[in-house]
Structure 1
Amino acid sequence: MEESSVFLLCLTASSGVPLYCRSKGSTRQLTFSVIGSLNGVHMFASNQGVLLTSTCTENTRVVWRAFHDSINLIVMSSESSASDFSLNRLLENVFSAMVLVIGLEDLVNIKNVERLKKDLRACYRLIDSFLMENEKMGDLTQCVDCIIAQDGAILQECLDSFTQAAESNFGCLMAGGKVVVATEKWWRLAPQEVMLLGWLVASLAPHSSRDYPVYLPQGSPTVPHRLLTFQLVPGVDVCVLCGPNPSLQKVETELVERFWKPVLDPIKSCLRVQLRSFPASVPLHHGILGILLINRDLSKSLYTVQAHPVQDMQKSDVKFSLEQRRSALRSFYTLAISRYLPTERSDGKNAFPCETFQAGFTHTAHQCYTVSSSHKCYGMKSELHLLFLLFKQEVPTFSMRAIANKTMQVFIKDFTF
């Protein structure tokens, strides 16, 4: 495989018929013989009572996942940051994206393969967005990428009134696919569903309004809901989940301007904090390059690798590109969450597939760090939050804990995230 390339294959589990192949970073397509071999070895192992989940060669990692004994997904990646953890998350997101767009029934009970191939084309833009580098982290964390807006209270009040007038309890304001504010019922949806809806809206071509049928992978995988979206300004959309009523035209002509025109300036201000995810007034240490803060209780996250305004960036920062920062922070998150900082759900089970590193230890780690020639990373876990920081290489290692504690307090006390 070419360096830094990814191939994603989707096949029927019963017959091994390819449904689609998506790729990133490669100009060549996989041959049918390669696809057949990848699926064949998985089927052979299954027939022998062996569950084949992953393998790796000198420069490529391969992961297999079967869903509902109907769909097989295979991913091959030669990216240096690829891991079983991240690739399994990718396959989970891809299958959930397929359910979101076409529903579970057509994926579990495949009656016409050619028709299914055609229907799956509607998923391509969303699936491809999971393969590409972007300014969100929800695909890996399964938390909702959020923005702290300057006028959040005003926007929240406006959204609640607008959603109620649209005969719904499920509403959300998004900027670049990140949630600015949402109704109480919207937050009650499964975190992965909220994450997927944000990625779906961000992946679609810009449009003034949409009436899009969606299936909620956990809440309603077989019965569609209507997702109404309205572009308030380029890059900012208000979304409503509803039933048969009201009509798209009624909401667009009677409600959008009435509720949102008076708050046009606060809406535009969301764009100014979209990439950074929080206002420039938030005091951050000058040595921080990137930050990922997760509220474990609410499954919300703040993420950026542009921690400081562009005009404040030094020449030394430019050498460590945004793409390299994203890769470094994602790799550190994967390492920390799978080895050192496992999180537990309410049922006592690990929320992530953890490695056996902690076997034999009588304590649980609450902080960890790594040091490389280009950067440093620090992670810490509190009762309700996880914080991961990407530092410049010249930041003293001994000072990272103090900086992380101070950063945590800024977001918890001053912004109550």
Structure 2
Amino acid sequence: MGEEGTGGTVHLLCLAASSGVPLFCRSSRGGAPARQQLPFSVIGSLNGVHMFGQNLEVQLSSARTENTTVVWKSFHDSITLIVLSSEVGISELRLERLLQMVFGAMVLLVGLEELTNIRNVERLKKDLRASYCLIDSFLGDSELIGDLTQCVDCVIPPEGTLLQEALSGFAEAAGTAFVSLVVSGRVVAATEGWWRLGTPEAVLLPWLVGSLPPQTARDYPVYLPHGSPTIPHRLLTLTLLPSLELCLLCGPSPPLSQLYPQLLERWWQPLLDPLRACLPLGPRALPIGFPLHTDILGLLLLHLELKRCLFTVEPLGDKEPSPEQRRRLLRNFYTLVTSTHFPPAV
């Protein structure tokens, strides 16, 4: 499956571990979703060699051919994920973290019980379709990096204190401790409760919101892979401006009608100008005029203790190489440094 080009081809396979029945196959080519599917014989061979090793108490985790890297990973002895990539120089670390994110996305939208106790394969296949949009965003050329760093993608808003105060007041009025302001999948501000969310849901929830089609308001059932993998919560989203959304994590209350439009207008209508200033932060992450050396083409800032990161390849406007190339270079550099100089847990 060798592929010339910058992004190569990626195939992601999900199978029931006990039976080997394929649950789904997702593909991307050059960073964009692709319809190309692997033949069933190839899927069977990839799963068969993994199961053969397990029967001999040998754990097959990765393999390389001349033009393809393959990584296998089993979860809870129930789900097997396999990823194949033809991208030149791609590391096993990056593919392993991709599989962790994919399984987290499956738990987020389907629940752990359905994945570990498979009663009806056809029903599970149907339920897993809800995760395709999020999973495809992991395979594509995303502007985010939380899938790789396992940290929450954040931005620096021009008037962060003002937005934080409004967010805290809105959260108290709404009756939930878990509220965040998200622009294009990156967290602008969040309550203390939201920041206490564990990994991977802290990364997955903003990413999910950024991957969904635009909608004025949503009431979305989600599971928390770390905090509540078997009992669903409600993810409420309210669009303030295009690509800028309020996200609330709550139980049976409050109803969406209580928040929109009365409570929304009360807290956020007076802050239209600070909110508009957040819109360019989607790709930039840094406010306009932020002092940065002119030779810096890309920046990745990590706070490993807080599990937050800032990632941008557009700090100073148009320059060569292209943003897509810079993004790929910075991701590859992070992977190289992490896998070479830091323990696997980093």
Deviation at 1:254, TM superposition (A): 2.4
| Alignment partner, residue 40 of structure 2 | 32
| Alignment partner, residue 324 of structure 2 | 323
Spell out, residue by residue over 1:94-114, the C-alpha distance to the aligned partner (whole angstroms, 9 max, x if none): 000000001000000000000
| Alignment partner, residue 160 of structure 1 | 168
User: Which of residues 83, 87, 90 is equivalent to 1:82?
Assistant: 90
The letter of the residue matching 1:268 is: R
Deviation at 1:338, TM superposition (A): 1.2
2:178 pairs with 1:170: yes
Deviation at 1:60, TM superposition (A): 0.1
2:206 pairs with 1:198: yes
Q: Does the 8 Å CA contact 2:297/2:313 hold for their aligned counterparts?
A: yes
| Alignment partner, residue 139 of structure 2 | 131
> After superposition, where does 1:66-77 map in structure 2 within 5 Å?
66-77=74-85
| Alignment partner, residue 279 of structure 2 | 271
| Alignment partner, residue 11 of structure 1 | 15
> After superposition, where does 1:367-386 map in structure 2 within 5 Å?
none
The letter of the residue matching 1:253 is: P
Give the TM-score normalised by structure 1.
Answer: 0.80
Deviation at 1:81, TM superposition (A): 4.1
| Alignment partner, residue 23 of structure 1 | 27
Deviation at 1:2, TM superposition (A): 4.3
The letter of the residue matching 2:115 is: L
What do you get for the CA RMSD once the two structures are aligned?
Answer: 1.1
Deviation at 1:253, TM superposition (A): 2.8
Residues 11/163 of structure 1: CA separation in 2 closer, same or farther (3 Å cut): same
The letter of the residue matching 1:20 is: F
How many residue pairs match? The answer is 338
2:345 pairs with 1:351: yes
2:231 pairs with 1:256: no
Q: Does the 8 Å CA contact 2:183/2:281 hold for their aligned counterparts?
A: no
Deviation at 1:14, TM superposition (A): 0.3
How far, CA to CA, are the matches of 2:214 and 2:35 in structure 1?
Answer: 27
| Alignment partner, residue 337 of structure 2 | 336
| Alignment partner, residue 54 of structure 1 | 62
Residues 208/81 of structure 1: CA separation in 2 closer, same or farther (3 Å cut): farther
Q: Does the 8 Å CA contact 1:159/1:182 hold for their aligned counterparts?
A: yes
How far, CA to CA, are the matches of 1:45 and 1:202 in structure 2?
Answer: 39
| Alignment partner, residue 290 of structure 1 | 298
Structure (1 or 2) with the larger CA radius of gyration = 1
How far, CA to CA, are the matches of 2:276 and 2:250 in structure 1?
Answer: 26
Q: Does the 8 Å CA contact 2:151/2:308 hold for their aligned counterparts?
A: yes
Deviation at 1:217, TM superposition (A): 0.3
The letter of the residue matching 1:18 is: P
| Alignment partner, residue 299 of structure 1 | 307
**Gapped regions of structure 2 (runs ≥ 5):** none
User: Which of residues 98, 109, 123 is equivalent to 1:115?
Assistant: 123
How far, CA to CA, are the matches of 1:24 and 1:249 in structure 2?
Answer: 39
Spell out, residue by residue over 1:218-249, the C-alpha distance to the aligned partner (whole angstroms, 9 max, x if none): 00000011110000011100011111011011
Give the TM-score normalised by structure 2.
Answer: 0.96
| Alignment partner, residue 235 of structure 2 | 227
The letter of the residue matching 1:141 is: T
| Alignment partner, residue 407 of structure 1 | none
How far, CA to CA, are the matches of 1:211 and 1:100 in structure 2?
Answer: 15
Q: Does the 8 Å CA contact 1:305/1:326 hold for their aligned counterparts?
A: yes
SS at match of 1:274: helix
| Alignment partner, residue 374 of structure 1 | none
Q: Does the 8 Å CA contact 1:81/1:327 hold for their aligned counterparts?
A: no
Deviation at 1:72, TM superposition (A): 0.3
Spell out, residue by residue over 1:26-60, the C-alpha distance to the aligned partner (whole angstroms, 9 max, x if none): 55321000000000000011011100000000010
| Alignment partner, residue 399 of structure 1 | none
Q: Does the 8 Å CA contact 1:102/1:120 hold for their aligned counterparts?
A: yes
Q: Does the 8 Å CA contact 2:217/2:237 hold for their aligned counterparts?
A: yes
How far, CA to CA, are the matches of 2:196 and 2:63 in structure 1?
Answer: 37
SS at match of 2:279: helix
Deviates more, 1:179-188 or 1:265-274: 265-274
Q: Does the 8 Å CA contact 2:2/2:68 hold for their aligned counterparts?
A: no
Q: Percent sequence identity over matched residues?
A: 57
User: Which of residues 99, 104, 113 is equivalent to 2:107?
Assistant: 99
How far, CA to CA, are the matches of 2:89 and 2:296 in structure 1?
Answer: 21
Spell out, residue by residue over 1:314-356, the C-alpha distance to the aligned partner (whole angstroms, 9 max, x if none): xxx33x121111111111000101112x26xxxxxx523xxxx
User: Which of residues 236, 239, 243 is equivalent to 2:251?
Assistant: 243
